[in-house]
Structure 1
Amino acid sequence: RDFDDPDGYDLLFVDASCNANFASRLSHSCTPNCATKITVTEGKYRIEMKTIADVEIGEELTHDYHAGTDSIAEYKEAICLCGSRNCRGSYLYHTNDDEYLEVLRKNYGPVERFAALILSSINIHHDQKSEALLEKYGFRSLLLNDLPSWGKRFAVAALKVIEEEHSHLIEHILKGKNGSDEEKEEAKDEADGVKHTRIQSLVITLDKIKYFLRKCG
């Protein structure tokens, strides 16, 4: 579900080996001419593949996998051969890359992380800024229903960290580079990819919390 879905953002998993068409065979490109979009047809969610650029007759259709991994070995093996001018070198984002972790260590160390957990457990009401942050990323009824109040506070704390990391990550990636417009665009794309992966991980965590509470309840 997209961020602007009335019920809020969520993840849709499709096992391409069981339920897919030719679109699941498209190759990755760091400069794709197609992109996926979640739509609703007759009350059912579907993943549509649409072109986002002009496509010549005979040109290969491609899309950006936008996938991440915590494994450095998997990241290095995922060599991208798209050949585009903006090729990242890998079709995966390494979410535990040292340069990403350095940003977190510098701006959000152990003390800050423990403080966020403690504050999440304190029974306080959300302020307008917290509600606005949840709304900004589409954290609505679909995710928040059946989630305890401390879970919502945890989500707010995590989103603040994700935004803080993103604000510093672009500058960190550009460190030691010329800072050309092309490099800035690549750095933003890379930082956006990490941010999106972090949000996906948070959504999965919240779903796991609700699942655990249902099983224990």
Structure 2
Amino acid sequence: MMIRLQKYLAECGVASRRASEKLIVDGQVSVDGCVVTELGTKVDPATQKVVCNGRPVSREEKVWVMLNKPTGVICTSDDPEGRERVIDLVPDLAGRLYTVGRLDVMSEGLILLTNDGELAHRLMHPRHHVEKKYQVWIDRELSKQDIARMLKGLNCRGEMLKVLRVEPLKRMIASQPGYTLTLGEGRNRHIRRMMEALDCKVVRLLRVSVGPLRLEKLRSGEYRELAPWELEDLRKAVGL
């Protein structure tokens, strides 16, 4: 069966679909010995040989891992500064997995790692509206006007950012108030930029859920593979 090359690379766990497209455009993928740079190219995995960066590409067993990212750890695979990476926390699987989306270096909490490019692509795409919940502690209480603006949308340097829900937390950190924020889609430094627009300082930012998945009792730096029922719930959340 013919399949788009970038989709096949994603299904094989080479990279996410978007990252696979870049690999193709950059000339790092060949089909039957010929370098391919056209994104519309289709291949038949049963009869054609696909190679990426000198390594044959083939479908492999899908792996899904949930990790509680500590602060100070980055989500990118390459870092010129030599900082600790999320994949360094899963040494037995580091060569096979990549993160689904990102958390900035000072944020912590639930991050998913996988080699399942197709499902990862759906989870990150805004059209599937996979909700993500964060707990954030800030240096002052939000007013009713602040919350109304967050729900309606804040203009953050030309980009409209908003939340779906704002719920106060009972737990405080060093007398600082906290809130649970629910996002329908996550932009780069989404919550931090909104807090900055409201002149609030973020004390702590923790992601506690992605779709049906909950961080719960997983300690900072720990990880575990998803249970079959969790993976099934994840697939249902994106219409698979």
TM-score band by shorter chain is under 0.3
TM score, norm. by length of structure 2: 0.24
The structure where helix makes up a greater share of residues is: 1
